[in-house]
Amino acid sequence: MTAMPSTEQVISLRGVHKRYPGGVHALRGVDLDVNAGEMLAIVGPSGSGKSTMLHIVGTLDLPTEGSVHLAGHDISHLNDRELSGLRARTIGFVFQQFFLLSGTSALDNVATGAVYTGLPPRERRARAAAALDRVGLGHRVDHHPNELSGGERQRVAVARALINDPQLILADEPTGNLDSKTEAQIIDLLQHLHDEGTGVLVITHSHEIAATMPRQVSLHDGRIVADTAGRHVGAPA
């Protein structure tokens, strides 16, 4: 999927602090490098700063201190338009709550993922159909979210994240709203996408899920307390 060499860093966090108005110090000096094509889990209990990590890694929020590089660009030097464009092409988001547009078919939901790339609608729909095929929902293109099971909805959301061929899928508790059987299917799907070359970063509170990933980063009280990167660094099998 990505033409990037495996040593290319998609995300690089250096000395990242995040303080919220009101005094909450959510991240306290985080360093994190995520290579292209890598699969990892950021795991931690609630209150550990996971959500803040999602927002900082996803460039939806800026750190109070420290630097964030996305695909080699220091995001503090980018304007809203540039950063939005870079975000759209580099990161595909998957959320716990799916965030599908109701009253819109699976195909159009997925196509929404490419709205801001400037592709013509016909091309977007063609890519959306291909992305739905990739997640095994080629037969559900015309179904609306309310006609789909929870697992199927999350697959649609994964397809939407895939439509721009991102270097990294950023999944926030992707199985948080699913039963354990469906959870396994979604993790399998992410594993499969990783095998095809897409980077996957899963943020979760579940050590069980994290254990299925080649690399685990443990977050506690806004600090990284463990990172198995030393043992697993490099291209996946």
Partner 1 sequence: MSATTPSTPLPTSVFRPGDIARAASGGLAANRLRAILSALGIAIGIASMVAVLGIASSSRAELLATLDRLGTNLLAVTSGTSFVGDDVELPEMSTAMVERIGPVEATASTTAVDAAVFRNELMPSGRTGGLAVHAADADLLHVLNGTLASGRFLDTAPPGLPVTVLGATAAERLGGIRPGMQVVIDDERFGVIGVLEPLELVPALDSAAIVPRGVAETLFGTSTAPSTLYVRTTPAQIDAVSGVLAATANPENPEAVEVSRPSDALAARDATESTFTTLLLGLGAVALVVGGLGIANVMVIAVLERRSEIGLRRALGATRRFISRQFFGEAVLLSGIGGLGGGLLGVGVVAVYATSRALPVAIDPGVPFAGVGAAVLIGAVAGVYPAVRAARMSPTEALNH
Residue span 120-159 as binding mask against partner 1, x where in contact by CB under 8 A, dash where not: -x--------------------------------------
Q: How many other C-beta atoms can be found within 10 angstroms of the C-beta atom of residue 101?
A: 12
Q: Report, in Å, the least distance between residue 226 CB and partner 1.
A: 26
User: Does 8 contact partner 1 by CB under 8 A?
Assistant: yes
Window contacting partner 1 (CB under 8 A); options: 91-99, 146-154, 189-197, 220-228: 91-99
Binding residues for partner 1, how many (CB under 8 A)? 45
Give the dihedral of Cα atoms 95, 236, 40, 38; nearest 10 deg. -70
Q: What are the angstrom distances between the C-alpha of 206 and each of 61, 151, 155?
A: 24, 18, 20
Q: How many other C-beta atoms can be found within 10 angstroms of the C-beta atom of residue 153?
A: 23
Torsional sign, CA 206, 19, 77, 84 = positive
Window contacting partner 1 (CB under 8 A); options: 41-49, 83-91, 133-141, 188-196: 83-91
Query: Residue 8 or residue 212: which is nearer to partner 1 going by CB?
Result: 8
Degrees, nearest 5: CA angle 212-40-18: 130
Report the alpha-carbon distance of residue 142 to residue 152 in Å, rounded: 13
User: Does 33 contact partner 1 by CB under 8 A?
Assistant: no
Residues engaged in binding partner 1 (CB under 8 A)? 2-4, 8, 51, 55, 58, 60-61, 71-74, 77-78, 80-82, 84-91, 93, 95, 97, 99, 101-104, 112-113, 115-118, 121, 160, 164-165, 167
